[in-house]
């Protein structure tokens, strides 16, 4: 098969250039999985070149890229902004871009970013500010988006030099926001405002971008810069967006408890418990780093969220005993009324759907341990655990006793015992589950 015609190759190149990063990365992985020949080798070369170009782009715009994440619905700048801005730079400043490419190729492991990166950002800011034709598409995109988007990008480009030097220190600042760290944060913002009087929200967003794994820690930085502001003051300030985004995130996590479907199984329960833990952390961070008034705009919202969190989680926890009873059915030993002792009913095979649902709710019960105290549902959780421990332990004992005369039901009884052991492991601990299994093995 011959080479791809130039016109068609140009169209392929354009498609690759406009594709999202995750698509290009997936295409690169697929093409590199085997040796390519003919036209596919040409496509592979285009993809490799595009990947290298994007790495250079991300290096130049590094401190700004978190503001443009295409996975963040609350992105401060359009996800398309870096691509359009980089294209404009390659048209307007080809020699400087080529210099940056050579400097990148010459970098060694411990070298910092070359100075040409900051120079390219400075020239990009000038191009946007002066409305140079190559930058028209970027400017139009930002002006059509959120208010102040163009000004924010220009401000961010002007801060990249300072940000490159300071952002690596952000994790150590927020990990222990003591007096020294707070002083360093305030000095960083003083340096930023000397570059641009109105850059504080943009610089805060650049710092926020370094906290992807713990975005709530931005409240520590805000507290240091604004000297532990009240929720009333912060909610009315230019920094309000950071608090509002965290509060929205918290509300969504609480709503997910009510929407959780136990039929999703234990994996979904683990994720839900982790999400609830994050919600409690967000609440705690607000209360620790801001001066929250009970009747303040965020104080009222936090109080409502805490009640909703506890009520929502307790509602799901209350479903657990019934779910366990459905998975491990029992019936009265005698027809002598409600006080009759309940014994396992194993005349039918396990209901896999009921087991899956019970497993999910028990997993949520177990995994919610770390957030129970702060979430306000510790007492209810402890009571349910205590009752379930007794219920499942007795059920397991009865099953093991039944093995002695199990006959042709032995296989089914062992299946029930395995489920009871799994459940007891979640309610008490894995050791308890192993004890049940060992007893069943020698029965």
Query: Is residue 335 over pLDDT 60?
Result: no
Average pLDDT over residues 327-339: 72
Distance CA 204, CA 247 (A): 17
Average pLDDT over residues 27-51: 74
Span of 74-78, 139-143, 166-170, 244-248 with lowest mean pLDDT: 74-78
Query: Is residue 300 over pLDDT 70?
Result: yes
**Higher pLDDT, residue 14 or 199:** 199
Quote the DSSP letter at residue 214: -
Query: Is residue 339 over pLDDT 60?
Result: no
- Give the pLDDT confidence score for residue 73 in this predicted structure: 46
What the block records as the tokens of 77 is: 């700048």
Average pLDDT over residues 51-60: 90
Residue bearing tokens 């967003």: 205
Nearest to 285 by CA among 232, 369, 210, 222: 222
Q: Binning pLDDT at 50, 70 and 90, where does residue 440 land?
A: confident
- Give the pLDDT confidence score for residue 77 in this predicted structure: 76
Report whether 424 contacts 392 (CB < 8 A): yes
- Give the pLDDT confidence score for residue 409 in this predicted structure: 80
291 DSSP β-pair partners: 230
Cβ partners under 8 Å of residue 161, min gap 6: 118, 121
- Give the pLDDT confidence score for residue 163 in this predicted structure: 92
Neighbours of 88 (CB within 10 A): 21
**Higher pLDDT, residue 385 or 73:** 385
Span of 80-94, 201-215, 294-308, 334-348 with lowest mean pLDDT: 334-348
Distance CA 24, CA 2 (A): 24
Three-state secondary-structure class, residue 36? coil
- Give the pLDDT confidence score for residue 99 in this predicted structure: 96
Cβ partners under 8 Å of residue 409, min gap 6: 346, 402
Q: Binning pLDDT at 50, 70 and 90, where does residue 142 land?
A: confident
Cα of 224 vs its chain's centroid, Å? 25
What the block records as the tokens of 108 is: 């060694």
**What pTM value is reported for the model?**
0.84
Average pLDDT over residues 376-390: 96
Query: Is residue 46 over pLDDT 70?
Result: yes
Instruction: Give the rounded percent of residues in the chain with a pLDDT score beyond 70.
Output: 91
Distance CA 207, CA 166 (A): 9
For 190-243, write each residue's pLDDT tens digit.
Answer: 999 998 888 888 899 999 988 988 999 999 999 999 999 999 999 999 999 999
For 156-186, write each residue's pLDDT tens digit.
Answer: 999 999 999 898 899 999 988 999 999 999 9
- Give the pLDDT confidence score for residue 94 in this predicted structure: 95
Span of 10-14, 141-145, 152-156 with lowest mean pLDDT: 10-14
Cα of 361 vs its chain's centroid, Å? 22
Query: Is residue 11 over pLDDT 70?
Result: yes
- Give the pLDDT confidence score for residue 103 in this predicted structure: 93
Q: Binning pLDDT at 50, 70 and 90, where does residue 9 land?
A: low
- Give the pLDDT confidence score for residue 340 in this predicted structure: 58
**Higher pLDDT, residue 265 or 146:** 265
**Higher pLDDT, residue 342 or 244:** 244
For 56-110, write each residue's pLDDT tens digit.
Answer: 999 999 898 888 875 544 456 778 888 899 999 999 999 999 999 999 998 888 8
């Amino acid at each position: 098969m011959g080479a791809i015609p130039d016109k068609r190759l140009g169209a392929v190149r354009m498609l690759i250039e406009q594709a999202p990063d995750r698509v290009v990365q997936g295409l690169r992985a697929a093409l590199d999985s085997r040796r390519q020949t003919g036209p596919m080798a040409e496509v592979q070369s285009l993809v490799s070149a595009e990947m290298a170009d994007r790495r250079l782009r991300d290096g130049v715009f590094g401190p700004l890229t978190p503001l443009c994440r295409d996975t963040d619905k609350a992105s401060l700048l359009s996800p398309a902004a870096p691509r359009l801005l980089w294209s404009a730079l390659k048209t307007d400043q080809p020699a400087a871009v080529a210099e940056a490419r050579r400097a990148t190729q010459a970098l060694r492991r411990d070298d910092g970013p070359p100075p040409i990166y900051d120079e390219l950002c400075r020239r990009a800011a000038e191009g946007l500010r002066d409305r140079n034709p190559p930058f028209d598409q970027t400017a139009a995109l930002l002006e059509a988006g959120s208010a102040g988007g163009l000004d924010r990008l220009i401000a961010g480009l002007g801060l990249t030099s300072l940000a490159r030097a300071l952002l690596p220190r952000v994790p150590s600042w927020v990990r222990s926001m003591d007096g020294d760290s707070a002083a360093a944060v305030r000095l960083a913002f003083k340096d930023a405002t000397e570059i641009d009087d109105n850059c504080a929200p943009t610089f805060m967003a650049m710092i926020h971008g370094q906290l992807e794994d713990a975005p709530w820690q931005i409240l520590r930085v805000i507290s240091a810069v604004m000297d532990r502001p009240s929720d009333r003051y912060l909610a009315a300030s230019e920094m309000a967006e950071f608090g509002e985004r965290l509060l929205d995130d918290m509300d969504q996590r609480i709503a997910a408890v009510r929407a959780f479907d136990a039929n999703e199984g234990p994996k979904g329960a683990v994720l839900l418990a982790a999400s609830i833990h994050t919600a409690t952390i967000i609440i705690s961070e607000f209360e620790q780093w801001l001066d929250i008034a009970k009747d303040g705009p965020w104080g009222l919202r936090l109080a409502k969220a805490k009640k909703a969190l506890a009520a929502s989680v307790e509602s799901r926890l209350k479903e657990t005993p019934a779910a366990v009873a459905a998975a491990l059915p029992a019936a009265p030993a005698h027809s002598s009324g409600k006080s009759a002792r309940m014994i396992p009913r194993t005349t039918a095979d396990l209901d896999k759907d009921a087991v899956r649902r019970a497993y999910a709710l028990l997993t949520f019960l177990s995994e919610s341990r770390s957030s129970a105290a702060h979430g306000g549902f510790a007492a209810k959780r402890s009571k349910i655990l205590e009752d379930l421990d007794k219920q499942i332990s007795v059920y397991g004992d009865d099953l093991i006793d039944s093995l002695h005369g199990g006959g042709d039901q032995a296989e089914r009884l062992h299946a029930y015992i395995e489920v009871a052991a799994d459940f007891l492991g979640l309610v008490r601990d894995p050791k308890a589950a192993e004890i049940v299994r060992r007893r069943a093995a020698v029965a």
